[in-house]
Amino acid sequence: MMTLAAYHRHPAWSPTVLKAAVTGTMAAWWHRFRPGAAPFVPSPDRVKGDLVDALLTPPFEIKGRFAAYATIARNTKIGAANCAEAEAAGLTPVSHEMVEQAQRIRDALHADPVIGEVLAAMDPAVSQQPHFWDDEEGRPCRCLPDVVTSDGRLFDLKKTRSAVPRRFYWQAKDLAYDLQLAHLALGHEHRSGSAPVEVGVIAFEWEEPFDCSLLILDAQDLAIGLERREEAFRRIAECQASGVWPSHGRQPFRPVSNGSRSAESEAAVMEALALF
């Protein structure tokens, strides 16, 4: 059975790598695509989301991925030593407080009548199970779906500052979650022989009272995601051929507003700056 670390080291194209190509800056090139790229290190907020994922999906525990300590403050002697010990063992250091918070979020999501139903229908045989395939262009691909239900629905778990749908949407577009879900849907179809019955996101907040939402992508969302996926492949190929990731280039100081954004939605984006 493939370990999670081995899955993440595999060179096949993953949804996370592809969305980094369309949303990324030179940091994406530096960490993922250039020759001799520096190892990718998840942010503290990414680690919090991963903790919740680990408790909500098979094997429903943090053992083997995380090492929990009273403190992981790297600016203290004991915290730095704890982090070094965990990393030497190939584990991600987390605090006991973080684990307790993640457990509370797990319980809150299970208790939600809508999200709880999805989690209760999870199929452990395919949820959090790696899948590899070659797409129609012959490109090697991989995916690791968070939640696949016994009736063929597919969901990705996302930690967010705001789970209010109108606030979540624009930042999710900026982070190419539509691309990510479209790639996961392709993997599901290859593995099962049919497209997922439903594709969506389970968005949850880290802070109490743990607001959450279940957001469903429609056919247009997925079609745009597939277009952005092709854009990612084009951009990676161009940059690898030239050996340079482009700057943001010449741009107007004030970004052109999207015609479909109301003043309210623009303001909402500023309130939802951190999604992971």
The domains of the chain are located at 10-37+52-58+97-244+264-270
Q: What integer pLDDT is reported at residue 31 of this predicted model?
A: 77
Say which CATH topology domain 10-37+52-58+97-244+264-270 has. Lambda Exonuclease; Chain A (3.90.320)
Tell me the Cα Rg of the chain: 19
| CA neighbours closer than 13 Å in the CB half-sphere of residue 168 | 23
Q: What integer pLDDT is reported at residue 225 of this predicted model?
A: 97
Q: Which residues pair with 163 in a beta bridge?
A: none
Please, what is the end-to-end C-alpha distance for the chain in angstroms? 28
Query: Residue 78: what are its φ and ψ, rounded to 5°?
Result: -70, -35
Query: Residue 87: what are its φ and ψ, rounded to 5°?
Result: -65, -35
DSSP classification of residue 149: B
Predicted TM-score (pTM) of the model is: 0.88
Contact 79, 72 (CB under 8 A): yes
Q: What integer pLDDT is reported at residue 257 of this predicted model?
A: 59
pLDDT in tens, the chain (276 residues): 788 888 988 989 999 989 988 887 787 777 777 777 776 777 888 899 999 999 999 999 999 999 999 999 999 999 999 999 999 999 999 999 999 999 999 999 999 999 999 999 999 999 999 999 999 999 999 999 999 999 999 999 999 999 999 999 988 999 999 999 999 999 999 999 999 999 999 999 999 999 999 999 999 999 999 999 999 999 999 888 888 888 888 888 887 655 444 434 444 444 443 443
Distance of CA 242 to the CA centre of its chain: 28
Q: What integer pLDDT is reported at residue 43 of this predicted model?
A: 82
| CA neighbours closer than 13 Å in the CB half-sphere of residue 5 | 10
Contact 55, 102 (CB under 8 A): yes
User: Which of 247, 234, 241 shows the shortest CA–CA distance to 21?
Assistant: 234
User: Which of 194, 104, 197, 199 shows the shortest CA–CA distance to 145?
Assistant: 199
